[in-house]
Amino acid sequence: MNRISHIEIDDSGLPAPTPEIEQERKVAVFDLLEENSFALPKRGDKVPPEGPYHLLLAIQERRLVIAITTGTQEKAGEFHLSLGPFRQVVKDYFMICESYFDAVKTLPPSQIETIDMARRGIHDEGGRILQERLEGKADVDIATARRMFTLICVLHFGG
């Protein structure tokens, strides 16, 4: 029950993503729904509704919004996180992704692998930042945080 079963990305009002960014989004959503760990901790005496959860990700007023409901549409929580802590790692992630997409077209596998290792390292950093920002609000494992970070990047790209 401690999982995400549906995810929606509200990118209304944002520029259309590039084909590469759209592909990253599709892969992240697929991977996230296939395997994730997401739980809402007890706060004081208040026990949160049980999952599985539906998440809505959006950017509103320069903040990341994560709205959480249950499968029966019961509101389970909503977090508004500053995008500031993500800015540099998102910028680094897009730069390395651009290098990776270019490399795939022309470079030998050994060089592509080196760029991909750097990309994974930045991705890990973004996942750790998200875990820190969600501390006390939601419990997510690093794999879930990494996939959610990709979706934050997609929103950040347009925002």
82, amino acid identity: S
User: Structure pTM?
Assistant: 0.87
Answer whether residue 17 shows pLDDT above 90.
no
Domain ranges in the chain? 4-158
The pLDDT-based confidence of 159 (bands split at 50, 70, 90) is very low
Indicate the average pLDDT of the chain: 90
What's residue 35's pLDDT? 94
- Cα–Cα distance between 89 and 58 in angstroms, integer? 19
